[in-house]
Structure 1
Amino acid sequence: MGIAEVVFIKHPTPLFVTLSSGLALAALSPRPAFTPLILLLAALQLYAQIIIKREHAQAKLALLWVSLTAAIAFSHIGPSMSALPNSAMSVIFLSLISSITSFLGLSAILAQVHLTRPTSHILLFPALWATLWGTISHVSPVGRLATWSPVVGLGPYDWTRQVFGPWGIDWIVAAWSVVLAHLVGSWFVGSPAMLGLEGENGKVGDEHRDNGDQDGRIVPVDLPEDASIVLDAPRPSPAAVGRPGRSGRVMFVGLGLLALMIPSYINPDVPLPRFSPDTTPLSVACVLPQSRHLKTGPALLKDYITESQKLNAAKILLWPEGAVRFDDFTARDAAVKEIQNKVAIPYNVFVGMTFEEVVPSSGSGRSYMRRNAMVLVGRDGPIFEYEKRNLVPIAESFSQIAGKEPPTVHTLLLTPPKGTTVPEWGNRTRPLPVTSSICLDFSTPSSFSALESKPALILAPARTWHPTVGLAMWEQAKARASETGTYVLWCDGGEGGVSGIAGNGYHEVMQVGDGSWVRGLGVGYPFNDKRTMFTSGGEWFAMFVAWGILGLGWVADIGYKNGGGNRQLAWIRGPALVAGNWVQGFRERRRIARGADTEAGEEQDLLGDEDET
């Protein structure tokens, strides 16, 4: 008995359930990883193909679902326990989210197995997979968090974010998993016995010779769990087990995936120089007063003002989310005035003050509600204000009011820094377009879809409750920076929170925990405010591309099938045949319609004759 028979025929359930659960711990953690997720999806596809027609298949799939749910919940248990005041509620909420996401993931896998027919295409699953999680990110209150969408380990595919956003990453993951599952299927189970095609005489039965597109994948056959299969039977020719095109398509997709790596080596993602004729030097700061220096407990307004005065070397200073709290609008306005007089005017800087303030009751029955916002203060007073739109479920959604207005771009006028003359600066001021979002707003790529132009900097105050959550949100901020092609100043004031600069070649964390920091950047001059392809086209564009690639594959298949297997003619004959069939169908519908009109006219004349008589 060989290992292939044990793994794929005798006892697939213990192995694949254990393997999938182990891979899920890495692939579906708060920071989903690229390569483990590919391995997980490939394993799930192989297992589904093996047991889909076997006895007790539903029970085995249920066991797999429970195992994946447990693995996901276990990888998220640390930050989830402190997310809500009640630990029991945290566990219930975590279990519910984990079970839903694992159910959706398995459903997509089973759809892939059921839809893999002679008329389907290898690119169907990538399109389904990208559409699934793109849709979920719009309906989920936490966006791309808790989805099967990788954010770490993208390597040479990170550049695709500017073009296709997370849709492209999901498509690439699913495509690689299909290729890998096919390769493993061809390597281990390519014999007629493993494919379930062997007849009594050890040869491939005639009833299986033209069974469709089954080359290199496991054919679902109705076998008992302890079926005895001979593994050393001769491998059938491609004509015996299916069309020769499937392996060729897999190779073509694999080569395409490898080709997608090339741009990252041609145009590496490196930061712009800070001082050059083509850049504007900019210093930014994250204001995080050290708790060990505070005698009054959490930092107060005066502590943030004092810390901001020390960081006057920076041009833009950002406070973490909810830095100060106000009981009414009057107190907020007084604080803005104080920041203007003590920091903005004396040091000629811009200060992003973040706050929570009580708002008048809206008749909801609750004693008071708060809003979570940020206001950017300059020499002339407030420049713009932004309210947090995506609230943390339960923890914030019951006590805060979500903002309604999307981020907008505002232009700051930068004066020459010290040591730079006006002629060197090129003008008395240089424009710097900026915008802002707050913490969980970064969990969805649609946060910046309404921007009419590209900002140079996104101010991103945050306050996470656990180091793992802080790292997860930092990865989301990096993703949004790549998608928009801009800098993100991420300032996390949570316990063990991570802060840093993301985008345009910057990927590393600057600070963990409290402690202020300053970072110098180089912004392109003149600044190109043209939006990236993803932010201008949006997720509709990404979805169109995902399904458009599938459509091109189908067209090529039609050309290949009708071109006598000539691959060179496939891309010529395919579109011609599709267009010809469409024209023929259109003419046929017109002929039928004309015939129906003629019959109706004849019937009307006869009725008219009867009326006249």
Structure 2
Amino acid sequence: MIASDDSFVSTHANSLLRVATVGLAFLALSPSPSFIPLVLLLGTLALRARVIGIKSLSSSWVSQYIAQLFPLSLGAAASHATPSISALSSPINSLALLSCVCLGSAAAALLPVYLHVKLRSDSNIWMRLTLLPALWATTWVVVSRVSPLGRLGSWSPLTGTEPYDPIRAYLGFPGLDWIVGAWAVVGAELAELAWQEERCTQTPENEHPLVPISREVDQSLESLARLRGPLKKGLFALTALLLAATLPSFTSPLPLAPHSSNTSPLAVACILPPPATKESELDRYLSETKRHAARAKILLWPEGAVCFGNESERTHALAQVGVVTKQYGVWIGATFDEIAPEVDGPIGGPGSRRVGMALIGPDGQLDMEYYKRHLVPLTEPFANVGSKVNPPVYDLPLPPPPHVKAPEWANPPNFTRPIPLTALICLDASKEVPTLRAPPALILAPARTWHPAAGYAMFQLARARAIELDAKVLWCDGGHGAVGGVVGDGEREMQVGEGTWVKTVGIPWPSRHSFTAHAAVGDIGAIFILWLFLTGVGSSVEYLAKTSIDLTWVVVVLHEALRWIQDSVGQLRLPRPVRPDERSSLLDDNDN
């Protein structure tokens, strides 16, 4: 009976693994991919490519690739079916788009899996272990730049990443993708070692191989057996590195206290009026804004709140918004859909439209204007055009709160604190934030999603961008089952559903004057760092250690360089400021 069971598993191993792949893909490839299921899925794919796919004599690379492709696409499509069915005007078009996205993502995901099996070398253990993570991170940087959806629909983790969130400020999405690949390699290598040990303990009489084994495969098993010791050491080092990378999360910042000596309290609001009445859209939003203007300093409308048919309508509407800002002394982020000027719409042709946001200040004037850069495929591109202009950065002059005297708040003559703001609109958050003039403290991000699952995915993307920039994001979603809130810089405020909400946050004061590492180098720079320092340097160190080259001169050079730096810093160190009690003592000495 046992032999029969073993025979069934051996005979149907590929079919069983395809079913497992579908299940893992369903769990891992939701609209908001989760970290642990992604690791399990990628580890399973890597193991299957190593042990079954590549070593099977009855299957070719192409057939194995296709055999993996469709179960993955099926699982991903099943996970996305509910939110995607209403993405477009027609369910058929929605399913067609979903199929293309899932098939393309699965095809891209399998490339690094099979490529790493082809390129990995047993002569360098560290290269063997870090090749897949580097290829995996590189693949999704390329996909996010080519795909109009950016990171939406990719295999990059959006949830369950809390232990590694601090990494985002340094390496962004590529850093998280590398970590997913590294944990998958750890699991796949351990499973492959266990499979090898089981194969070695089987006798020819009772052996039921998972796949046909040839003399060449037997030789590879013997080679792997010789590498077992170094491989276990390499796995230990990689696991230690991955665990050490979680240490910064143990000191993750709490939300800043709004009222303190090193923060500026700023009340922000997302304006979501009640269901439609006889009022026009503009009047609805103005009425709801007035209700909450006394509670917030910045009031943001969701994406495309009002629609303008011509320049005259736009001018009249923004003038009405300016009246409200003057009356209450607030800033209103009014969002709109308007006809694009001819200079901006050559691709869409005459009558093309664009989505934008105008920030109107307390003086009734336009302080900042931004237009959506990335459009939803098969819907917006037919009618709208995307902007080519990078997001601006506006220094909002925040006046003192009622309970604080002006001289205690800021320096004359204005007695205001500059709060650097920028903007993103909905799908813009799925793409890497372009180079900004200055690091922002707050990102205004209006959105309009069609399903709670899609809204949550976009909210998590906005959260990731906030961590990358070390800023806060005000995410205002006006779609069905909207997911909104304030995230980033310690904030974790979220609201689901309709209705206006207000939140007071603490903005760091003085404002930060330096970009995060990821904001400075971007995704391409992060990939370069991952390849050079984690894969390249680690492999080089292992090679030098194996060649028994005398490296004492390197230690001497590093020691001398460190001493030179310490001496230079000591010479440049500024004198310590004299305390008031010391100043009086010095004056007394001079009198004597």
Specify the alignment match of 1:514 in structure 2.
Answer: 498
CA contact (8 A) 1:11 1:225 kept: no
Q: Does 1:310 align with 2:286?
A: no
- Match of 1:559, SS? helix
2:171 to 164, 168, 192: 164
1:237–1:519 distance in 2 versus 1, CA, 3 Å: same
Cα deviation code 1:116-147 (max 9, x no counterpart): 22245211111111001011111110100111
Specify the alignment match of 1:106 in structure 2.
Answer: 110
Q: Distance in 2 between matches of 1:515 and 1:443?
A: 25
1:539–1:365 distance in 2 versus 1, CA, 3 Å: closer
Q: Distance in 1 between matches of 2:181 and 2:172?
A: 15
Deviation at 1:59, TM superposition (A): 3.8
Deviation at 1:414, TM superposition (A): 0.9
- What is the total number of aligned residue pairs between the two structures? 535
1:388–1:2 distance in 2 versus 1, CA, 3 Å: farther
CA contact (8 A) 2:348 2:385 kept: no
Cα deviation code 1:215-263 (max 9, x no counterpart): xxxxxxxx7847799xxx9xx9999533632221111001100011111
1:56–1:575 distance in 2 versus 1, CA, 3 Å: farther
1:498 to 483, 491, 494: 483
1:228–1:11 distance in 2 versus 1, CA, 3 Å: farther
- Match of 2:513, SS? coil
1:474 to 456, 459, 465: 459
CA contact (8 A) 1:10 1:226 kept: no
Q: Distance in 1 between matches of 2:238 and 2:244?
A: 10
1:114–1:385 distance in 2 versus 1, CA, 3 Å: same
Specify the alignment match of 1:607 in structure 2.
Answer: none
1:258–1:92 distance in 2 versus 1, CA, 3 Å: same
Deviation at 1:74, TM superposition (A): 1.2
Deviation at 1:192, TM superposition (A): 5.2
User: Percentage identity across aligned positions?
Assistant: 38
Specify the alignment match of 2:435 in structure 1.
Answer: 450
Specify the alignment match of 1:484 in structure 2.
Answer: 469
Greater Cα shift, 359-368 or 523-532: 359-368
Q: Distance in 2 between matches of 1:395 and 1:382?
A: 30
- Match of 1:521, SS? strand
Q: Does 1:376 align with 2:359?
A: yes
Task: Name the aligned partner's letter for residue 133 of structure 2.
Answer: P
Specify the alignment match of 1:208 in structure 2.
Answer: none
Task: Name the aligned partner's letter for residue 245 of structure 1.
Answer: P
Structure possessing the higher radius of gyration over alpha carbons: 1
Greater Cα shift, 164-173 or 461-470: 461-470
Q: Does 1:83 align with 2:70?
A: no
The TM-score, its normalising length taken from structure 2, stands at 0.85
Deviation at 1:295, TM superposition (A): 2.1
- Match of 1:282, SS? strand
Q: Distance in 2 between matches of 1:562 and 1:320?
A: 62
- Match of 1:16, SS? helix
Unaligned runs of 5+ in 1: 203-222, 564-568, 577-613
Task: Name the aligned partner's letter for residue 47 of structure 2.
Answer: L
CA contact (8 A) 1:328 1:359 kept: no
- Match of 1:123, SS? helix
Deviation at 1:94, TM superposition (A): 1.3
CA contact (8 A) 2:328 2:362 kept: no
Deviation at 1:416, TM superposition (A): 1.1
Greater Cα shift, 114-123 or 145-154: 114-123
Greater Cα shift, 551-560 or 345-354: 551-560
1:148 to 139, 155, 167: 155
Q: Distance in 1 between matches of 2:277 and 2:332?
A: 24
Task: Name the aligned partner's letter for residue 388 of structure 1.
Answer: K
Task: Name the aligned partner's letter for residue 231 of structure 2.
Answer: R
Q: Distance in 2 between matches of 1:37 and 1:3?
A: 33
Deviation at 1:575, TM superposition (A): 11
Cα deviation code 1:26-85 (max 9, x no counterpart): 211110110000001111111111222311355454232111111111111122221222
- Match of 1:528, SS? coil
Greater Cα shift, 239-248 or 344-353: 239-248
Q: Distance in 1 between matches of 2:29 and 2:406?
A: 53
2:410 to 410, 413, 426: 426
Deviation at 1:269, TM superposition (A): 2.5
The CA RMSD measured in Å over matched residues stands at 2.9
Task: Name the aligned partner's letter for residue 387 of structure 1.
Answer: Y
Specify the alignment match of 1:67 in structure 2.
Answer: 71
Cα deviation code 1:553-586 (max 9, x no counterpart): 22122123212xxxxx89769999xxxxxxxxxx
Q: Does 1:440 align with 2:427?
A: yes
Specify the alignment match of 2:568 in structure 1.
Answer: none
CA contact (8 A) 1:279 1:523 kept: yes
Cα deviation code 1:505-537 (max 9, x no counterpart): 12241x222211110001111111311110012
Specify the alignment match of 2:230 in structure 1.
Answer: 245
Task: Name the aligned partner's letter for residue 444 of structure 1.
Answer: K
1:268 to 242, 252, 271: 252
The TM-score, its normalising length taken from structure 1, stands at 0.82
Q: Distance in 1 between matches of 2:154 and 2:253?
A: 27
Q: Distance in 2 between matches of 1:574 and 1:201?
A: 56
- Match of 2:491, SS? coil
Specify the alignment match of 2:578 in structure 1.
Answer: none
Unaligned runs of 5+ in 2: 557-592
- Match of 1:500, SS? strand
